[in-house]
A and B are shown apart, each in its own frame.
Chain A
Amino acid sequence: MADQLTIRRAIHGDEAALRALWVQYAPRIDAVVRRLVGDPDQAADVAQEVWIQIFRALPTYRGDSQFATWAHRIAVNRTLNALRSLRRIGKVETEIEEDTATVEHEGDRALLAQTIDEAVQKLSPGARTVFVLHDVEGYTHEDIAAELGITAGGSKSQLFKARAKLRTLLRHLMDVPISQEPSHVAHRS
């Protein structure tokens, strides 16, 4: 929990206090930025913008929620703004279709991510954003729709496709013998 006196000093521009807040919360805040942005270099740039925004908004922090929660919300909003400015989310619906069509096959498994975190980075930017916001951050489809300027139905559709792809990417971690996998040659509608 952030020390209220540290926050007071930080509001007044005390470098030691600002640094203390950054040291304490950067591991968590930067992690959500990295999950949403994907590309490490772009994530570092966005994280810098996020922290400037957090510190700029400090005087509005009233202490009625935990500092981590307050800062986390700013981080998500600022990151989504940054992604929008990169014109990555605008193409989300078309990208997800292409994305699903290019799911890796058995032979590519050696190249697949070893953890869900790495696997998420292999999703298209739009699919990653919807998946992270819903399944990791706990946003509702209505919230996501409002943030991304899409419909709630569109958010659901993208989420299910993202989950299906992740399931494929992480099949080797899910302990299901290949011989038992559904063939998916024919599916129910």
Chain B
Amino acid sequence: MISLRQVNARSGSFALTDISFDVAQGAYGVVIGPAGSGKTTLLETIAGVVRAQSGKILLGSDDMTHAPPEARRLGIVYQHAYLFPHLTVRENVAYGALSRSIADDVAERFGVHALADRSVTSLSGGERQLVAIARTLARRPEVLLLDEPFSALDPRTRNIARRLLRAIYFERRFTVLQVTHDFTEAGLLGNVAIMLDRGRIVQQGDPEQVFRKPASPYIADFLGAENVFAGTAQPIRAEPPDWFASDDNEFIQHAVAFTTGQLTFYALGDVVPGPAHAVIRADEISLSTAEPSMSSVQNQFRGKIKEIVPVGALTRITVDAAGTPIVAAVTARSVRELQLFTGVDVVVGFKATAVHLC
């Protein structure tokens, strides 16, 4: 388990402020944030390389706030492998290994045993990173800190490295905290997402929750939300609110009318009347060439296709709806069958529940 309570730390002129979060035993936490947000400093503070000025750092059940790095039973892998250049691959992997057999076993698992006698300076970037991960795991850490270890790798090597790490993670169930600026990776890997900006946590929780319900337009934008609209929210008090319970609370949601430009969406939320932002994921938006119909989809607007951009398996289509650009993500098959081209008139639809107000 990794547990931080109101931790403050400083590295050079950069400060981490009031950091609190938990990553449960055996869970996989991801730290997301723009460059310079303090992600690496956060990992180094947990590792004890950067000293916490105040607060508490618990690893497992032990208070490790003031423990030296070597006593924390953790490992860290940086974006650059930081292999010791005066040692061979074998010597690097064995550097902190609990035993020679563990080092050999991990080297074999990561496919670097064949490189054992080579100088690390002769390795490719991918090989170096695999050796760095093997070196860290050979110590059998209880907590693994990963500082964008795959970001410099080519896609094929990145997938191999991820797969190997995931396999060993599921096998041993150590606690992981991984820094990434790639939210797709965070969604794929994490149980807990921690969004960091300028040394402070701005949102944390289930990755899907952070992705779908960002706490601010800035976070939405950073996480790649395609539709972030500034406008005005007005709860519709005349309608009875929806009540629903969660694990730890009971929420109330009013129907809300959100106006941006010449459009008014219907949404659900507990917002104060006034300026707000609406976030809608592109994959929540449907397109139709038929006329608007009576359906449970509360928000339907006529518009004209302005741009079609294939992105991987999906196609991003930008529709101009009364002067407001709305981006939808649809499959290539839908594009084909609906005969969607630039200039075609379409109806844009999304449910009120797809609109997140912040």
Tell whether A and B belong to one assembly: no
Binding site for B on A (CB under 8 A): none
